[in-house]
Amino acid sequence: MDINVKANKAYIPYFNKPQFTQIYYGGSSSGKSYFLASKVVLDNLSGVNWLVCRNVATTIGMSVFNEITKAISNMGLTKYYKVNRSTMSVTCLLNNRQILFAGLDDAEKIKSVTPIDDVLHRIWIEEATEVKREAYKQLTKRLRGNTKSKFSKCVILSFNPILRSHWIYKEFFGEWQDDKTSFENNRLSILKTTYKDNLFLTGDDRKQLEDETDEYYYQVYTLGNFGVLGHVIFKNWHTEDLSSLIPTFDRIHNGLDFGYSVDPNALIRVHLDKKRKKIYVFDEWYQAGMSDSELIRLLKSKIGTQYVTCDSAEPKTIDFLYANDIRAVAAVKGADSVNRGIRWLQDYEIIVDFRCQNFKNEIEQYHWKEDRKGNVMAMPADVNNHLIDALRYALCDEILAAEVKAGRRLN
């Protein structure tokens, strides 16, 4: 069997690490997910059953599932695999061993995940900073029990670092040295990589990372360092399970930020309770590389005949959506609309359904821009804010109405 494996040099020694806990972290575009998807497939060919997880099940299909299937194709192994997207499973036809997928938001489903042959041997948690420590601990228990195979068991955590206050940093980085790129003992292996380790990046990809002007994002996403956020914009939010409340929501606002080849189309759905000054974020969609027809199908399934307020910088796209029976309208912006919207949102309590993982990722890191000297600027960092922007668009009429009312009072 000829297997075509492409790997960046930094990862080659890590295809067969024996440690139970393995951590792969660092900057954006460092090739972590590409390497780990290749490792999972090669392990599976050798007889390893894998469970691949993210915090929320709905984020799996467009991320790690696609990474695994692309790895199978890139290595020329398609004819040896059965891929079932409906059950989120990949089965090797040569040995009946599987790669299974699950979201940690469904504890009962995790408990019932069982391969068709032997037991689970290894687990990969992608975007591990999304996961709570308690969920991680429960997941490691799935690797207990006897196996008829010779394979060592392990749990892999991969992520872009966020904050030094995160439980992963506290739990695993006690002996870590910031001037190093790796650490190992008998139970733990850590590898840090950045875009400089990825030989497959284009010059434009590298330049975009190197030209980042916000210090926090430069440290975290360019250099791959754990950061410190001192100027977070929104502290007025928390998560809940909104399942029982969603059927009662009757003041629904939809917002859409348009994506491009890399940036995602970001749709957000919220219920506004003006009397109690609460905003309920209960649904989201977040996907890059969508065609216009795919976007139309998505919007029809998500919002039906409801209005959706979109980024006014794309009038042609708005007209196209409207011509295809989507009630799309342009957001009213005006001078300083971003900061005005932020001030209005800060005056409300924002309750986020725990399944809206992409919005949680954005709002917990959304911060005032800082220069390289740490001076705070009067503008938010314009990075990873697609759903935040969509939230402002969704509620722009309410924001504008409040400003008009305030102006009349002053006059």
Structure tokens at 143: 């690797």
Residue 83: partners with Cβ closer than 8 Å, 6 or more residues away: 69, 72, 90
Distance CA 236, CA 349 (A): 5
Q: How far is CA 252 from CA 176, 280, 303, 305, in A?
A: 47, 9, 10, 12
The answer to whether residues 251 and 408 touch, using CB atoms and an 8 Å cutoff, is no
Distance CA 329, CA 397 (A): 11
Residue 176: partners with Cβ closer than 8 Å, 6 or more residues away: 183, 190
pTM: 0.77
The kind and range of the H/E element at 103 are: strand 98-103
What does the angle CA 335 – CA 341 – CA 347 come to, to the nearest 5 degrees?
140
Residue 225 identity: N
Distance CA 273, CA 280 (A): 8
The answer to whether residues 267 and 298 touch, using CB atoms and an 8 Å cutoff, is yes
Distance CA 361, CA 130 (A): 8
The partner residues of 123 in beta bridges, in order of sequence, read: 51, 155
Q: How far is CA 231 from CA 123, 209, 364, 368, 377, in A?
A: 35, 22, 11, 6, 10
The DSSP bridge pattern shows strands 89-92 and 81-84 to be: antiparallel
The DSSP bridge pattern shows strands 252-257 and 307-310 to be: parallel
Would you say how long the chain is, in residues?
411
Measured torsion, CA atoms of residues 309, 313, 319, 322, in degrees rounded to the nearest 10: -10
Structure tokens at 315: 């009038």
Per-residue pLDDT of the chain (411 residues; tens, 9 = 90+): 678 788 899 999 999 999 999 999 999 999 999 999 999 999 999 999 999 999 999 899 889 999 999 999 999 999 999 999 999 999 999 999 999 999 998 767 777 788 999 889 999 999 999 999 999 998 998 887 666 667 889 999 999 998 888 999 999 998 998 889 999 999 999 999 999 999 999 999 999 999 988 888 899 999 999 977 768 899 899 989 999 999 999 999 999 999 977 789 999 999 999 999 999 999 999 998 898 899 999 999 999 999 999 999 999 999 999 999 999 999 998 778 999 999 999 999 999 998 999 999 899 889 988 777 767 788 898 888 999 999 999 999 999 887 666 554 333
